[in-house]
Chain A
Amino acid sequence: DAGVTQSPTHLIKTRGQQVTLRCSPKSGHDTVSWYQQALGQGPQFIFQYYEEEERQRGNFPDRFSGHQFPNYSSELNVNALLLGDSALYLCASSLGQLNTEAFFGQGTRLTVV
């Protein structure tokens, strides 16, 4: 049973560019959440998708947007990249919006130069 898979594993972008990160949830899961983990810090919640709609959002600017597809996979898009966007981006999946058992992927390491 495949767990949560994220791609790519590493990415280097230039300030001002746009980036798309991808996540496939654990088999059977329908809810995807995205987190940003800066170096040496705990993950910060970006947003959550359920039934192809954004259901909750953390304190992140509109430059951060997402999408969920009918097969429950998800994308995180970041526009106008800043140096401060450099971080590990984690995807977590769960079954249902209120299920507290979240499974995390290994993350995408984004470096903005």
Chain B
Amino acid sequence: GDSVTQMEGPVTLSEEAFLTINCTYTATGYPSLFWYVQYPGEGLQLLLKATKADDKGSNKGFEATYRKETTSFHLEKGSVQVSDSAVYFCALSNNAGNMLTFGGGTRLMVKP
């Protein structure tokens, strides 16, 4: 079945540092890929998405590129802020519907 693997956290960075959170997937067909963010005590918010190979999703300074050859969708940001502290989830949706398969999440902590 479909699965998503993320790097384990927590990831602790200083403000303005470069962020990479690795995500790889296993899926049949051609899934859409997503990054969701969850702030403390809240539900999930869609951060960015990509629907086909080589697409780059971007939002709020975050970006991720759909790499079919390496089955990866790594999240990057050039300069993190304290307000980026949250849990980040990589997810996929196959073409049979919009059921989402999530990774285990990566907690990001940004220190001033």
Instruction: Please name the residue on chain A nearest to B101 by beta carbon.
Output: A45
| Given contacts A100-B49, A100-B51, A100-B93, A105 and B99 within 8 Å (CB-CB) | no
Q: Does A62 contact B (CB under 8 A)?
A: no
A55→B97 contact, CB < 8 A: yes
**A55 partner residues in chain B, CB cutoff 8 A:** 97
Q: Is the CB of A90 within 8 A of B44?
A: yes
- CB <8 Å contact, B104 and A107: no
Q: Does B100 contact A (CB under 8 A)?
A: yes
Q: Return chain A residues, CB-CB under 8 Å to B51.
A: 100
Q: What mask results when residues 26 to 63 of chain A are scored 1 for a CB within 8 Å of chain B, else 0? A: 00000101010000111111001000000110100000
Interface residues on B, range: 20 to 34
Q: Which residues of A contact B96 (CB under 8 A)?
A: 56
Closest-CB distance, A9 to chain B (whole angstroms): 10
Interfacial residues, chain B to chain A (CB-CB below 8 A) = 4, 32, 34, 36, 41-46, 49, 51, 89, 91, 93, 95-105
Interface residues of A (CB under 8 A from B): 4, 31, 33, 35, 40-45, 48, 55-56, 58, 90, 92, 94, 97-107
- Please give me the 6 A-B residue pairs with the lowest Cβ-Cβ distance, nearest first: A42-B102, A104-B43, A104-B44, A106-B43, A100-B32, A100-B93
